[in-house]
Amino acid sequence: MQAELTATTALLTDQDYRSKPAGPPATLRDLYGSRSLLEICADVREQAAASLGEPVRTLHHFACAGGTLFAKLIASLPNVFVLSEVHPHSMQNPAAKKFAPSDISLLCQAAGLPEVSDLTERLFVDALLSAHEWTTRRGGRLILRDHTHSDFCIPASAGESLLLKLIGPRCNRVIPVVTVRHPADSFASAKMCEFFYDHEAKAPYDISFETYCDRYNQFLDAVDAQLVVKYEDLISDPAATLSQICDVWSLEYDEMALEIFSQFQFSGDSGRSGEVIADRPPRPESEQYWQSDADSYVRLISRLDYSLRR
């Protein structure tokens, strides 16, 4: 094949192609400069291979664990784009009477298509992988921020990451990163924000701290993370923590991200946001959970290397 391409290049180069008055350049050299046809073919092959071999990068965390701050910092990196809180099913966006002309999945639900749940998941994966390929071919890197809450912290929780379950079989490689916060603090904040809500019953539901820690452990078991990063470490040393994430995801680190992150707006921004990354006083409600002796809490604290007492 290489010999044939070389002969074809020589044949084309020797011809005197004259363009029409408003047509293309007259010769291959005008089109491609000094590059040979073999070089052009090699470039196209390498670009296609790079796109197909590019890993899918996913970000996972519980609610009120600093996830939006992580997402903003990551989105501030060069050529990086974040799809925030992706999930094929969301009880927070019922299909009935909702104007969503570009949301095909939601429209399918509203129309009552047969086996619509399976269809929604297929459309979801196809759309994500199309966005991933589109971004990669243009030199960008796409991050999928999972809506973990939908899989582990609602009454009918699946107990597994549906995002990873759906995209895993269709990707060469998936690199999950998990970010965490001390469970006593994240639970207190989530309770205050009323994130434990039953959308079918249209009312908050009661969840104990022990059950929450059980689900947190289940989450960590389900997501085979390449890296687990603490929110507290991000606060104490943002540059080092962000660099850690860049290393695992093979992203270019740029300290400018620490200056411009507040310009990004994402869903899930429920915390005490601001332009400065700094420690905030703990919520008083969290103290009772710090004192817990529940087995699930002790196990969780141990595996995350947190302190049992403030």
The residues spanned by each domain of the chain are 54-264+278-304
Cβ atoms within 10 Å of 46's Cβ, excluding its own:
10
Burial class (CB in 10 A: 0-12, 13-18, 19+), 53: exposed
Q: Are strands 227-230 and 80-86 parallel, antiparallel or unpaired?
A: unpaired
**Phi and psi angles of residue 140, each rounded to the nearest 5 degrees, phi first:** -95, 175
What pLDDT is attached to residue 271?
Answer: 56
Contact at 8 Å (CB) between 89 and 150? yes
- Can you give the length of the chain in residues? 310
pLDDT at 239: 97
Contacts of 61 (CB under 8 A, 6+ apart): 67, 70, 148, 178, 179, 180, 181
Q: Among 183, 168, 166, which Cα is nearest to 217's?
A: 183
How far is the C-alpha of 233 from the C-alpha of 68, rounded, in Å? Answer: 15
User: What would be the CATH architecture of the domain defined by 54-264+278-304?
Assistant: 3-Layer(aba) Sandwich (3.40)
d(CA 20, CA 22) in angstroms, rounded, equals 6
Gap between the Cα atoms of 280 and 234, Å rounded: 13
Query: What does the alpha-carbon distance between residue 233 and residue 242 come to, in Å, rounded to a whole number?
Result: 10
Rounded to two decimals, the pTM is 0.80
The tens-digit pLDDT sequence of the chain (310 residues) is 667 666 666 666 555 444 334 444 444 455 455 666 666 655 544 444 445 579 999 999 999 999 999 999 999 999 999 999 999 987 666 666 677 888 888 888 888 899 999 999 999 999 999 999 999 999 999 999 999 999 999 887 888 999 999 999 999 899 999 999 999 999 999 999 889 988 777 788 899 999 999 999 999 999 999 999 999 999 999 999 999 999 999 999 999 999 999 999 886 665 555 677 877 777 888 899 999 999 999 999 999 999 887 7
- The pLDDT of residue 268 is 60
- What confidence score (pLDDT) does residue 265 get? 82
